[in-house]
């Protein structure tokens, strides 16, 4: 008995068609026609007037149809209307349908629509087995928010998305997007960008070659060859995320934020900008560049940089390990602010400035940079200016506060206000001849480029002049003397280099302790 059952099963598997074969050979059913004619020799039905056909999950309506029994195909004309699963509708003027492959070709005045969108074209192929539509020679997809057009496209009913190629344009109330290729999800209204793409809004212009754009939330993610422009700002980076409603932008990896109005540029691996607040900050190799048309641009680095802009002023701030370089001036401190309105730089926490071979230190340093050149500086508390006169010999000016004035980026004269002290090594014929040491409450010092040319003691001067042979090494430096040339940025690249205290300096510090 067991052998008989196995043999019968084998025979039936050859004799009876499989389910898939039955489905494949299922004939197109005629449900209605006002008139029909059957050509027996050709096995063709000619149907006219309110024709209604069914094949599997497709309902097909038309004015005229030719049904070919041998090939299980139809050709239909006039008022074509195809319904799949009572949810997807296709219309057109002409139809060719193959019942074996379940492949439909709809031509002229074609319209395909579901609950989410409407596709129009003059050319549409539809695979009813895979629920995929293809159009060529131009098509339009429209929903409640967007209108998308392209030369070719593919509609995936099961996955709720459409892909577009060649001359793609997306239009919505706030943006126009143009591309060579992209994907659009009809349910979420998200555009996925896979090729060179421009997005243009009333105020914004974006370019990318990869990313996505949520047309509902107005969020944009760009991840290849990205650039964003808005008003006077240009943004670049390997990753850009924009939230239009929150008016925020995030830039990562080789990020650039450029303010073309003020010739300011921020570079960093992480930049955040808040348009409604007029505020931006940058971290991770953050650098600010103030571009100067006279080739004396300012390059500044800090652990964190920020930029605050309002209707009257733009203020830049740097926090922690601040270093800057200009060909005419260099500096470092722990925190700094830079006001563009009055061209004022304010430095806090152990600030040092180097300008025309002079090292300036104090508790707080303020620099008026002027439109074209340095104009003025202020040092509040513990003011000290040091210049190397010769190897191991330093001219020093000290006071409670100082105000200095520049001429052609050189110090012209200095007012020492309170507790003034001066050490000066006069030089004749290139050789140091002695040491002048003076004290005076207030001092006015005049400079000729890098050299001291005249000193005016305002109140009760007290001083000594030593010949070089009688100069005691202890007399050569004022109290709290500092010479920090080792830390001076010598180029724009030096602002990123963190220098440890040299071993010889460590040794001298230990001896003092």
Residues 6+ apart with CB under 8 A from 449: 356, 410
**232 domain residue, yes or no:** yes
Domain membership flag for residue 356: no
* Residue 324 included in any domain: no
Half-sphere exposure of 279 (CA within 13 A, CB side): 3
A 10 A CB-CB count for 199 gives: 24
Q: Is 222 part of any domain? A: yes
State the CB neighbour count (10 A cutoff) for residue 23: 13
State the DSSP code for 351.
-
The b-or-e profile of 108-119 (16+ CB within 10 A means b, else e) is eebbbbbeebeb
Residue 298 in domain: no
- Whether 314 maps to a domain, the answer reads no
Its pTM stands at: 0.81
User: How many residues are recorded in the chain?
Assistant: 513
Q: How many structural domains is the chain composed of?
A: 1
Give the structural domain span for 279: 20-286+364-512
Q: What is the 3-state secondary structure (H, E, C) of 70-108?
A: CCCEEEEEEEEEEEECCCEEEEEEEEEEECCCCEEEEEE
Each residue's pLDDT expressed in tens, for the chain with a length of 513 residues = 434 333 333 333 333 344 444 444 589 999 999 998 999 888 999 999 999 999 999 999 999 999 999 999 999 999 999 999 999 999 999 999 999 999 999 999 999 999 899 999 999 999 999 999 999 999 999 999 999 999 999 999 999 999 999 999 999 988 999 999 999 999 999 999 999 999 998 888 999 999 999 999 999 999 999 999 988 889 999 999 999 888 899 999 999 999 888 888 999 999 999 988 889 999 999 999 988 777 778 899 999 999 898 888 889 999 999 999 988 889 999 999 999 888 899 999 999 999 988 999 999 999 988 766 788 899 999 999 999 988 888 999 999 999 999 888 888 899 999 999 999 888 888 788 888 899 998 999 888 877 777 888 887 788 888 887 787 888 888 988 989 999 999 999 999 998 776 655 444 434 443
Q: How far is CA 190 from its chain centroid? A: 20
* Dist CA 333 CA 319 (whole Å): 9
Q: Is the dihedral of CA 391, 450, 399, 332 positive or negative?
A: negative
Sequence-ordered list of residues with C-beta below 8 angstroms from that of 62, at least 6 positions apart, any chain: 51, 53, 76, 77, 78, 79, 80, 81, 95
């Amino acid at each position: 008995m067991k052998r008989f059952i196995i043999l019968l099963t084998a025979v039936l598997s050859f004799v009876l068609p499989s389910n898939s074969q039955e489905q494949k050979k299922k004939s197109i059913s005629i449900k209605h026609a006002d008139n029909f004619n059957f050509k027996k020799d050709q096995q063709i039905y000619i149907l006219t007037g309110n024709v209604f056909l069914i094949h599997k999950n497709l309902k097909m309506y038309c004015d005229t149809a030719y049904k070919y029994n041998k090939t299980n195909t139809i050709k239909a004309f006039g008022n074509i209307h195809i319904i799949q699963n009572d949810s997807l509708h296709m219309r057109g003027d002409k139809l060719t349908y193959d019942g074996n492959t379940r492949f439909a070709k709809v031509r002229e005045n074609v319209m395909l629509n579901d609950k989410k969108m409407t596709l129009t074209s003059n050319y549409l192929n539809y695979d009813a087995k895979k629920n995929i539509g293809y159009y060529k020679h131009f098509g339009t997809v429209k929903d409640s928010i967007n209108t998308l057009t392209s030369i070719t496209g593919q509609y995936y009913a099961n996955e709720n998305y459409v892909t577009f190629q060649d001359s793609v344009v997306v239009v919505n109330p706030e943006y126009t997007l143009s591309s060579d290729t992209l994907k659009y999800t009809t349910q979420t209204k998200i555009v996925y960008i896979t090729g060179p793409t421009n997005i243009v809004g009333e105020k914004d212009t974006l370019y990318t070659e990869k990313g996505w754009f949520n047309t509902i939330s107005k969020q944009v993610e760009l991840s290849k060859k990205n650039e964003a422009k808005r008003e006077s700002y240009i943004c670049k980076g390997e990753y850009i995320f924009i939230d239009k409603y929150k008016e925020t932008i995030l830039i990562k990896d080789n990020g650039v934020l450029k303010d073309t109005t003020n010739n300011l540029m921020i570079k960093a691996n992480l930049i955040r900008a808040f348009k409604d607040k007029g505020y931006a900050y940058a971290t991770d190799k953050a650098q600010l560049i103030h571009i100067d048309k006279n080739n004396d641009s300012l390059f500044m680095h800090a652990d964190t940089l920020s930029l605050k802009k309002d209707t009257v002023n733009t203020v830049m701030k740097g926090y922690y390990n601040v270093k800057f370089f200009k060909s005419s001036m260099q500096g470092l401190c722990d925190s700094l602010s830079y006001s563009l309105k009055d061209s004022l730089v304010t430095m806090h926490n152990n600030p040092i400035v180097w300008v025309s071979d002079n090292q300036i230190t104090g508790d707080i340093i303020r620099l008026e940079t002027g439109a074209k050149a340095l104009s003025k500086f202020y040092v509040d508390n513990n003011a000290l200016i040091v210049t190397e006169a010769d190897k191991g010999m330093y001219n020093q000016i000290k006071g409670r506060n100082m105000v200095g004035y520049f001429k052609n980026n050189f110090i012209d004269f200095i007012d020492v206000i309170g507790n003034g002290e001066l050490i000066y090594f006069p030089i004749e014929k290139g050789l140091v001849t002695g040491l002048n040491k003076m004290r005076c409450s207030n001092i006015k010092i005049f400079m000729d480029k890098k050299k001291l040319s005249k000193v005016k003691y305002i109140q009760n001067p007290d001083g000594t002049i030593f010949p070089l042979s009688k100069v005691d090494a202890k007399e050569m430096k004022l109290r709290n003397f500092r010479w920090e040339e080792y830390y001076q940025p010598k180029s724009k690249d030096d602002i990123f280099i963190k220098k440890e205290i040299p071993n010889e300096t460590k040794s001298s510090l230990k001896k003092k302790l």
